[in-house]
Amino acid sequence: MPTISRADILRLGGEQAFASAVAAFAAAIDAHRLTIDVPAPTTDPLIELVVRQYGAIYDIEPEPGPEPDPEPEQPPVAWRVSTYRVVRRLETAGLIEAADAALAAQPTLFRRFYTAGTIPHDDPDAIAFLQAIGADPVSVLEPE
């Protein structure tokens, strides 16, 4: 038994039109058996195949399922940057003296900076500190 594709079904007018065409051609072939010297009826090659070779029995390809839901947006990835890496980047940028002076002026920030070990990339205090000394927070706090 052949399986008829959705594209062929649609090309021939839909499921009902296809079924009607198969039934009409099968009836025409049956009626032609009683004739002499009359050309055999013809139709679309797919309908002829279904009727002549499969006795008008066929399956239709199942309709495709619904599109899967899109993946939910992933929350932004949070990362931490080691204070060692921050110091090295500030040294490279030539801003380590400005950073030391700013940290010396704020003992609480100094303690938090040197005892933290790592700094969240989106820490508002770290971002404000880096902006205050003229550093680019995005480049200093980029992932390692």
Does a structural domain hold residue 69?
Answer: no
Does a structural domain hold residue 70?
Answer: no
Its domain, for residue 119, covers 80-140
- How much is the pLDDT for 135? 93
State pLDDT tens for residues 21-71: 999 999 999 999 888 888 988 899 999 999 989 998 999 998 888 888 888
Does a structural domain hold residue 8?
Answer: yes
**Percent of residues, the chain, with pLDDT higher than 90:** 44
- Shared domain for 50 and 84, answered yes or no, is no
pLDDT > 90? residue 78: no
Q: How many domains does the chain contain in total? A: 2
- Shared domain for 53 and 88, answered yes or no, is no
State pLDDT tens for residues 19-29: 999 999 999 99
Nearest to 56 by CA among 12, 17, 19: 19
State pLDDT tens for residues 95-104: 999 999 988 8
- Shared domain for 87 and 117, answered yes or no, is yes
